[in-house]
Amino acid sequence: MPLMKSMQNSKRLKKTTKNVKMTSHLKIATVRMNLKTKRKMTLQKRSLNLKEYACHQLITQLMALGSSLHAIKPLLTGFALLTAIFALPSQANELPNHFNSNQLDNNPSPYLSMHASDPVHWQTWQASILQ
């Protein structure tokens, strides 16, 4: 009979308590919290090593940064759109053309002159290449 009673007590204890991990500056503890009385019973305590502490701090900082970036995102999007709209069209002509010194520039063929500005070093067939 005592075994049956202890099993019932453990089932009742499982329903009214839960394990909670608590972290503080350099300690981590597994705590069993009584849900009715809100009291904590420490099950195990250990110190965090440097790697665990750094990961904990990094995650905390990233969560804080993510919430602040969420608020700034519309502002950054608006700034990017305004920059794209009001960029001067004359600046587009100042961009350098790639491989302007292609050997197809002076070719009489319309097809070859169309590919004169391609970023490939095109060459026409010459007698020295064919030999």
Q: Parse the chain into domains and list their residue ranges.
A: 10-70
Predicted local confidence at residue 111, as pLDDT: 81
Beta-carbon count within 10 A of 104 CB = 20
- Tokens 């204890």, residue? 13
Question: Whole-prediction pTM value?
Answer: 0.23
Q: Quick one: pLDDT at residue 113?
A: 76
Termini Cα distance of the chain: 105
Which has the closest alpha carbon to 116: 97, 93, 129, 130? 97
Position 88, amino acid: L
What is the predicted pLDDT for the residue at 34?
59
CA angle 83, 84, 88 (to 5 degrees): 85
pLDDT at 21: 52
- Do residues 56 and 23 make contact, with C-beta atoms less than 8 angstroms apart? yes
Q: What is the pLDDT along the chain (131 residues), one digit of tens a residue?
A: 455 555 555 555 455 555 555 555 455 555 566 555 666 555 555 556 666 667 767 777 777 776 676 777 777 777 777 777 676 555 555 555 554 556 677 777 888 777 777 776 666 677 776 66
Q: Which pairs count as long-range contacts for 46-49, CB under 8 Å and 24+ apart, including other chains?
A: 48/23
Cα distances from 74 to residues 61, 82, 90, in angstroms, run 22, 12, 28
